[in-house]
Structure 1
Amino acid sequence: MKKRKSIFDMQFITAGISTTMVLFLLGLVVFFVLTANNLSVYIRENIAFSAILDDNIKETSIIKLQESLNKKDYVKKIVYISKEQALEEQIEAMGTDPSEFLGHNPFNASMEIRLNAGYTDPDSIKWIEKELLENKNIIEVSYPQNLLDSVNKNLKKISVFLLGLAVLLSLISFSLINNTIRLTIYSKRFLIHTMKLVGASWGFIRRPFISRNLWIGILSGAAANAILTALAYMAVKYEPELLVIISPESVLIVAVAVMVFGIIITTLCAYISINKYLRMKISELY
């Protein structure tokens, strides 16, 4: 009895390796896009606003003000800094105690406000500053305007570049995987024609080719995801602070994107290529 030929032949393995490499590169770009976004959020949410409080503000008013601000959508975190704490920080930073020669503590109590990333654009900052100054207990609002402008500008450039690179690599990936699958099906073009001659339907002829390439997409996607996950794990293990930008959610999104792209593109390319040879006449096959 003749043994059934396995689909996992050398041609399958070669196509799988090529597809894995392409999906790995694509996944790497998606990974960089997501981590760049996480880095953007992290940087913007760690730029603090200082709301300088009136020197005569009472403790009950401070508590009420903090509770009121914590309810605002734009506030991520608030840290209260007392007059004494501000003086200690100044002494530690400058090495001198200004209260010794001034005769009093020259610093006011303040609240260090960190905003949610979605509220760090210039327009939002202006109305947030205006709203804060409407409170009579807040006499001044200070924030690093130049730093914020620089961060927003540079992060926007990086995001546009990475998104453009992702689109370009997607087109290149489609082309490379499509060529690999076309060459595989090209070698079977006479078999396809023979099956047509014996009366096999187009759906029947397509089925094994699509099934084979579906498996290539699944296994290649899994292999690419294994490499990407291992690299992310090693990066976080080497530098645990990277967990802020290389989050488990980002790794999961990349894994899903790579797998879905791998399945769709291999199946679609197989469908397009097989239809091409199904339409050909015998004279066009040579």
Structure 2
Amino acid sequence: MQLNINVTEVILLGLTQDPSRKNIVFAIFLLFYMGTLLGNLLIIVTVKTSQALGSPMYFFLFYLSLSDTCFSTTVAPRTIVDSLQKEASISFTECIIQIFTFHFFGCLEIFILILMAVDRYVAICKPLHYMTIMSRRVCGVLVAIAWMGSCVHSLVQIFLALSLPFCGPNVIDHYFCDLQPLLKLACSDTYLINLLLVSNSGAICTVSFLVLMFSYVIILHSLRNHSAEGRRKALSTCISHIIVVILFFGPCIFIYTRPATTFPMDKMISIFYSIGTPLLNPLIYTLRNAEVKNAMKKLWRKKIVSDDKK
């Protein structure tokens, strides 16, 4: 692959150029990012330290919170810093790294959500064989495959982008580096590359969303044979997962299934899935899950007792 890159620095226009509005952006992103870190790290610590949360569902929840934390971290800290500056700039190399990590952890979250749907399907539809099918070893292998698949997806994106010559201008009308805004800096026809990128990201988002929704339809249909208490518990868990899926995939499908097309609202929609969903996930999974809430209460009590002994 031959590279012809003259652009060494990229200017990010951000969400606004108005100084007073930049302060609002700073406050919102800082608040959301701190909430994301607090919520997801609390889930990570709780799942790791609680013996009651040893089932495969919470094993996958651990990795969902980890991917949420990393996914938000690829965008939020730089946006927070950039909102304090008159002109935000990023080197071309850092821009490419941000694109890679953003798509890596975004794709990882998609795969983890699919694994969580598979886990719920087996737990509800094959309860007698659940522990055999979803053994610790199998879950570990599935997560490893998710990591490798995410890496392949991101590398394909980067290689496709770097096959183009970038010779200016060097201004991106976005608050972080993403592929479609970056391709506007290329000084050659990008239609084919854009089509390939859409067939990559767009297909992953759309197909995964359809697979997930279909799997939950099957799960919900199978609940008719369960007891009232079993239906209530399974329904609560599935509704939490469905809410997460819709909130995450809706904006992603809107952004990544349009070749060579951008709208003014794209930046606002990107906010929702880049920092909004990672904040909402821990709230949804804790507020709607009694086992997680109980484990957090026990963890908090242990912390108080240990502090009192000191």
Fold conserved between structures, TM > 0.5: no
Higher relative contact order (CA 8 A, sep 6+): 1
- TM (norm. structure 1) is 0.29
Higher strand content, 1 or 2: 1
Which has the larger Rg? 1
Higher helix content, 1 or 2: 2
